[in-house]
A and B are shown apart, each in its own frame.
Chain A
Amino acid sequence: MKTIQSRLTIAYLLFGAAIASLGYTAFKNYKNQSDVHTQLGLGYKVEENIAKIKKGRSVKRARRELKALRPSMQPEARALAVSDIITAINRGSQGRINKSIRYFENVEAEFKRVSYKNLDVLKKNVEYYTVISITLFITLYLWAFIYLRKSVFYPIKRISKKMKDFLVDKYTYHFSVPPDNEIGELQNSFNSMAQKVLTQMDELQALDNAKSEFLSIASHELRTPMTSIKGSLGLLQSGVTENLNDASLNLLNIAEAETDRLIRLINDILDLSKIEARMLNFDPSWMNIKHVIIMTLESLDGLAKAANVHLVKVDLNDIYAPVDQDRIQQVLTNLISNAVKYSPDDGNVFVGMSFTNNGQLKISIKDEGVGIAPEDQKLIFEKFRQATGKDNPLVKGTGLGLAIAKAFVEEHNGVIGVESKPGNGSEFYFTLPNWSKKMPKEDKEEVA
Chain B
Amino acid sequence: MKILLAEDDPNIAQIAKMTLEKLGGHEVIHAINGEEALEMALNTEVDLLLLDEMMPKMNGLSVCQEYQTSVSDPKPVIFLSAKSQVEDLEAFLTHGIGHIAKPFDPGSLVERINQLMEKHQA
Q: Using CB atoms and an 8 Å cutoff, list the residues of chain A in contact with chain B.
A: 216, 219-220, 222-224, 226-232, 234-235, 238, 240, 263, 270, 274, 279-281
Contacts and interface: CB of A to CB of B under 8 A. Distances in A.
A291 B118 CA distance: 28
B84 interface: yes
Contacts of A232: 11, 15
B104 A224 contact: no
B102 to A, nearest CB: 4
Contacts of A226: 102-103
B83 interface: yes
B18 A240 contact: yes
Contacts of B107: 234, 238
A226 B105 CA distance: 10
A223 B106 contact: no
In the A-B complex, the 10 residue pairs with the smallest Cβ-Cβ separation, listed nearest first, are A231-B15, A223-B82, A234-B106, A228-B11, A227-B103, A240-B22, A226-B103, A227-B102, A230-B103, A220-B82
A228 B102 CA distance: 9
Contacts of A263: 103
Nearest to A235: B106
B79 to A, nearest CB: 14
A238 B21 CA distance: 13
Nearest to A230: B103
Interface of B: 9, 11-12, 15-16, 18-19, 22-23, 54, 82-86, 102-107
22 contacts: A216-B83, A216-B85, A219-B83, A220-B54, A223-B102, A224-B9, A224-B82, A224-B102, A226-B103, A227-B104, A228-B15, A229-B103, A231-B12, A231-B16, A231-B103, A231-B105, A231-B106, A232-B11, A234-B105, A238-B22, A238-B107, A240-B22
Contacts of B12: 224, 227-228, 231
B91 to A, nearest CB: 14
A220 B54 CA distance: 8
A256 B26 CA distance: 25
Nearest to B16: A231
B16 A219 contact: no
A60 to B, nearest CB: 124
A216 B53 CA distance: 12
A238 B23 contact: yes
Nearest to A226: B103
Contacts of A231: 12, 15-16, 19, 103-106
Contacts of B16: 231
